[in-house]
Structure 1
Amino acid sequence: MAQVVTCRVKFIPLQLEFIATFVYVYNMKEDRKELWDHLSQLSGNHKEPWIVLGDFNVVLHREDRLGGNPVTLVEVTDFQNCIDNCGLEEIANSGSQYTWNDKQDARIFSKIDKVLVNGEWVDQMPDITAHILPEGISDHCPLVVQMLQSFSRKENQDREAMRRIQMQLQLTPLNATIQKEEKELSDKFRRSIYLAESILLRKQSNLD
């Protein structure tokens, strides 16, 4: 469909696979509804790490616009509902505060370009950040998505979660629900260790 391209990506250095959806959303509110429905349908079709990024052509928060008309609830409701339905969250970003301006005399600045990820991405993938670069001669600022080199925070969180559930399992060793959760958390911690080691090896090889 228009407004969106979705593909499966394999990040070979870490042997990770994820779904990436690139958006360029229509300007008119009514024309965007088809995309919100499509994204909601995509979110139900897979439970894999998923990143959604691009020009959404709509703000999400009051502080996302400077100048022009004030941000209204009606303006942001459809986008917010889509994010909630898909289980997405915006990743941390740095650099410019706004991603678009109209280049007119009385400037309007907006943050309409975003990078969103689902819960599976947060649980299974290395931490990432989006850096918003100056716009240059364009009216949009480029977004550079970078994978953070340190994976120790996620590894520690997964280790602690595994430790807690294993303590519960010692108290109720025949509890099938806790057994299943312990296996899932152990697998998750194992992936975290692998990712941390892979990133460290890549960092070391770059220094050689």
Structure 2
Amino acid sequence: MPIILSATLPAAAGKAKEYLAALKPEYDHVVANEASINQAYFFYSPIGKPETIYGIESYASKDAIENVHTQSAPFKKFVADATLVSDGELGINLLEPSVGFLSRPKFTDFPSSEALLLHVTLMVKPGTRDYCLEQFGKIADDVLANEPNCTSYLYMKDLADPNKIMIFERYLTRKDLEVTHRGGEVFKTVFGELDNGVYITGKEVIECVETGLGFLDRA
């Protein structure tokens, strides 16, 4: 089963560039040597908070993460080097991709200084996650068909919490999010039903920018 790894990398104050520099050799190793197990390896930060670095990584399986990726010498060196410029431990969530797409096929407009990314966490009422995802699938289908400037739109199940959904979104401009996407009839209809306290019980939406390191599709 494909697995998404969502990472939180906490750089120390003023050390974001040094943290990313420590990550770069590991990134180069993934690009050159892990094509058979890895499809995406992308890093971004909340607007105005460059010391918080998020990673979204796509792997063929959990085994590929545990027995290949994290066992490589470059990964272990990154962990050791990052410790010197970090402000805490690396955080990891394992997720199952559910509906949507991590990248439009053959889309390669990276990096982009104007792109806006959303790092979203939803908490839903126990027992309703599958229904919510079924409804969110309607939005994902509409986005794929009608919003070409939304280049990533993926809903994921948290494997450790049956009531949590994570969403990764990437738009070429803020207008593509605020006018085109949020103004869409399908989006308004689905969220109008679900985001009323009955299904969605908690929500965190973090606006982010790219760090300049990463890819979302090897093609």
Instruction: Determine if the TM-score, normalized by the shorter chain, exceeds 0.5.
Output: no
Who wins on radius of gyration, i.e. which is larger?
1
Name the structure with the higher strand share.
2
Q: Give the structure, 1 or 2, with the largest relative contact order (CA under 8 Å, sep 6 or more).
A: 2
> Shorter-chain TM-score: what band?
under 0.3
Larger helix share, 1 or 2: 1
Q: Scaled by the length of structure 2, what TM-score is found? A: 0.26
